[in-house]
Structure 1
Amino acid sequence: MTRVQEECTIRKGRSRTGTLAIIGAFLVLSAGLRLVTEAGQVIASEGVAPDKTTDTSQATSMDLARPDDLNAAFEAIRNREARLIEREAEISEREATLAAAEDAIDAELVLLEEAEKSLRETISRAAEAAEDDLSQLTAVYANMKPKQAAALFEQMDATFAAGFLGRMASDSAARIMAGMTPEKAYEISVELAGRNASIPLD
């Protein structure tokens, strides 16, 4: 063999040896990691075992308590439903009371309207009757002799007398006032002038 061939053979042997060493190192590391992992799992399982028992007992206790919780929830729902039903009954009763009150008020309003209508008719009839009486009495005073009518008006209140004289024809009223005393005729004239002055001119 030449020297070159010997050097190549030595290099190949060294590379194979290095590769085998690396593979061996990986295997040792893998075995060590596996041991550590398994030991950790064993330790964890030993430490967690009591907790699993505790969890199981807790789960069992919760399962035993759950029906009570459901019964309490159902009871609360039933109580709330009962309160709602009672509240609805109260509201319905109030609505019925309000409806009855509204009906009573409507009936009272109808009676008041009828009474007001009747009162207006009565007042209207009374006013018509009074107007008829005043018209008839005015006609009587106007058809009397002026001296006789003047004597009656002399005894009347000036405002009352002015009311009759103001309804008469001007010539009849003038003849009656001519038969009065100047003082009475003046008082009645002031009343008549005051009534006419209250009439707007525009």
Structure 2
Amino acid sequence: MTQDRKRGHRPGRGTLAIIAVLLLGSALLRVGLQATEAIAREASPEELAESLPMPAPLAAPQQCVSDPDLVPLLEAMETREDRLRMREERMTMRMRALQVADARIQEKLAELRASEAALRATIALADEAAESDLTRLTSVYENMKPKDAAALFETMDPDFAAGFLGRMRPEAAAGIMTGLSPETAYLVSVVLAGRNAEVPRE
């Protein structure tokens, strides 16, 4: 039984020894890290720069050597680029001028349309007023005595007189035509017949 106890105690001692070594190593590692941080904090930038490895020197920049044969070509390309830029600027200015002209033309067209609409409205009012006046005047002639109306129509131009007679009722126009002189009645009849002849039959 003594031997069994000795064999049972040996593994426990080995485990404790391993744990102790690990703890000691961990403590030393922490102390080393803290010391490194403290040294890094206390060290100046110059000292840190000296402790770092020197970078490899940069290679000297290579100079571009131009080919003499390419110089005329480059100059020609630059000249062409300048011409294209100037042409583009001129086209841009022309486009702006055209836009301004187009805007003015649109404004003028709008003004012309407004003026045309106002003129049409004025003409319509004038036509309506003239038609109303003619209708009223025709009614006045119809209500006059045929003899008095005939004396008035005798002084009118045949076309003017025919216009009124054509708007009257047939019986009123006939009474006035009866009071006209034969010459005036003939001229008025010719005008009325000519107007009716121009009317399409179908």
The amino acid that maps onto 2:158 is A
Match of 2:188 in 1: 188
- Gap runs ≥5 in structure 1: 1-64
Match of 1:54 in 2: none
Alpha-carbon deviations, 1:164-194, whole Å to 9, x = none? Answer: 0100000000011111112211111111111
Does the residue aligned with 1:72 lie in a helix, a strand or coil? Answer: helix
Could you state the TM-score of these two structures normalised by the residue count of structure 1?
0.65
List aligned pairs for 1:16-95, cutoff 5 A: 67-95=67-95
Q: CA RMSD in A?
A: 1.5
Whole-angstrom CA distance in 2 between matches of 1:181 and 1:87:
85
Moved more, 171-180 or 75-84: 75-84
Give every structure 1 segment of 4 or more consecutive aligned residues whose post-TM-superposition deviation is greater than 6 Å.
Answer: none
Q: Percent identity?
A: 52
Match of 1:168 in 2: 168
After TM superposition, give the deviation of residue 66 of structure 1 in Å.
5.5
- Structure with greater helix percent: 1
Match of 1:20 in 2: none
The amino acid that maps onto 1:183 is E
Whole-angstrom CA distance in 2 between matches of 1:167 and 1:93:
65
After TM superposition, give the deviation of residue 153 of structure 1 in Å.
0.1
Whole-angstrom CA distance in 2 between matches of 1:145 and 1:84:
91
Could you state the TM-score of these two structures normalised by the residue count of structure 2?
0.65
Match of 2:54 in 1: none
Q: If you compute each CA radius of gyration, which structure gives the higher value, 1 or 2?
A: 1
Whole-angstrom CA distance in 1 between matches of 2:90 and 2:83:
10
Does the residue aligned with 1:201 lie in a helix, a strand or coil? Answer: coil
Whole-angstrom CA distance in 2 between matches of 1:67 and 1:198:
94
- Gap runs ≥5 in structure 2: 1-64
After TM superposition, give the deviation of residue 78 of structure 1 in Å.
1.7
Match of 1:157 in 2: 157
